[in-house]
Amino acid sequence: MSLDEQLLDNAEALAGADPSGSLRALAGAGAQVRIALTATAEAGLHPVTADGRPRAVVVASLGGSAVVGDVLTLLAGSGSPVPVSVRRGLPLPGWVGPLDMLVAVSMSGRAPGPLGLAAEAARRGCRLLTVGSADSPLAEVSTRTGGVHVPVAPAATPAGRASRMALWSLLTPVVAAANALGLTDASPAVLQRVADRLDVLADTYRPSSDAFVNPAKSLALELDSSLPVVLGDGDVTGVAASRAVSMLARTARVPAMRGALPDDAGDVVATFGGPFAARPEDIFADPYDDSGSRPIPRLRLVLLRDAAPSVDRPDGSWLETSRTADAVRITAEEAGVRVTEVSAEPGHPLERLADLVSLTDFAAVYLALASGVDPLTSPHVADLRDRTR
């Protein structure tokens, strides 16, 4: 698989290579937030917020929507007044009962994990918030048992109906409900700022922007023929790293390793001495395999950096993590591993997450298109679904 660099600088050719509309779906991320806020208001959160905070919140999400649970856990943080946990499928933990709330997210409304968890939670008398397609089994479970279902607006393109391309449609209602319950400070005003920032980012990463001034296209070029190691330097960037690895795999068919500091520093730097890390003494070696037709894949460290806080935590943890990130970068450079460093702009954690997610989402799609890969459909994933039905 070789990268067609000329395609990246030809907006018309990119459109022709993207019949499912993946780039268009990503460009509408800001609109996804606004539409989802309206849908949430119209659905009405009163049934799940009227009795105040639940004892605990369980988020059921998997696949392309799995990151929703990770983001809510991030935003609630260690200071959350109630515990937030994530489940991908049955069984529902035995302690979950009428005092608790289950949030189930599925774009199709048919994913067995969230659907089964929602049905079991409803049977136990939990509060229930569901997000997904209207007139779906998930919507039926919610409305039949007194829960709240927030429908996802119909998409104009096939890609817009894929959960990984509709992240903000799925995430926004969950964040709005968590804010209404006092679990996060991500207010509607914050979500509006996120939408505005996503609009600006979409314009920056637009197909008509040349690769040398388009950070998403530049990142796609840097990831060509590489084995990415995506490392976040903290909580926000750790979630962004997970999302990036998922998008690279499902969209560009590129396997990648992820990590978050400080816990994963050792695992990441250990790979710098492995078979895919270029040794400093090999910098003049032939980068191609024996056939001369394909570059040998080499590690590339993609270091996601959070914006510096105006004031560090009392324990100095941000400064310590930043030093660890610098140490990992220096270690990589000395080992001959190429490094791409990306930083979020200041703002609310959700805004900073939007910075990193938007860049890596667009980069994954550009990498797929320039490699001749359909970003939306994988025949191997289709085969897997057929064999597991």
pLDDT digits (tens, 9 = 90+) for 353-378: 999 999 999 999 999 999 999 998 88
How crowded is residue 226: how many other Cβ atoms within 10 Å of its Cβ?
20
What pLDDT sits at residue 178? 97
| Whole-prediction pTM | 0.93
pLDDT category at 279 given cuts 50, 70, 90 is low
> In this predicted model, what pLDDT tens digit does every residue of 216-253 receive, in sequence order?
999 999 999 899 999 999 999 999 999 999 999 999 99
Query: What pLDDT is recorded for position 294?
Result: 59
Per-domain residue ranges of the chain: 5-17+207-385, 22-196
pLDDT at 207 (0 to 100): 96
Per-residue model confidence (pLDDT) at position 295: 64
Sheet harboring 127-132: ordered strands across? 84-87, 57-60, 101-106, 127-132, 148-151
- pLDDT tops 90 at residue 44: yes
pLDDT in tens, 288-316: 555 555 567 899 999 999 998 765 565 66
Secondary structure letter of residue 295 according to DSSP? B
Superfamily of domain 5-17+207-385: Glucose-6-phosphate isomerase like protein; domain 1 (3.40.50.10490)
Structure tokens belonging to residue 3: 């990268």
Candidates 155, 126, 184; CA nearest to 36 is 155
How many separate helices (H) and strands (E) can be counted in the chain? 16, 9
What architecture is domain 22-196?
Answer: 3-Layer(aba) Sandwich (3.40)
Cα atoms found within 13 Å of the Cα of residue 147, Cβ hemisphere only: 32
Mean pLDDT of 188-201: 98
Per-residue pLDDT, 378:
83
pLDDT of 189 reads 97
Report pLDDT digits (tens) over 310-349.
Answer: 655 656 677 888 899 999 999 999 999 999 999 999 999 9
Per-residue pLDDT tens for 164-194?
A: 999 999 999 999 999 999 999 999 999 999 9
Reported as a pLDDT band with limits 50, 70 and 90, residue 161 is confident
Mean of the per-residue pLDDT values of the chain: 91
Percent of the chain with pLDDT over 90: 78
Burial of 89 (0-12, 13-18, 19+ CB in 10 A): middle
pLDDT score, position 58: 97
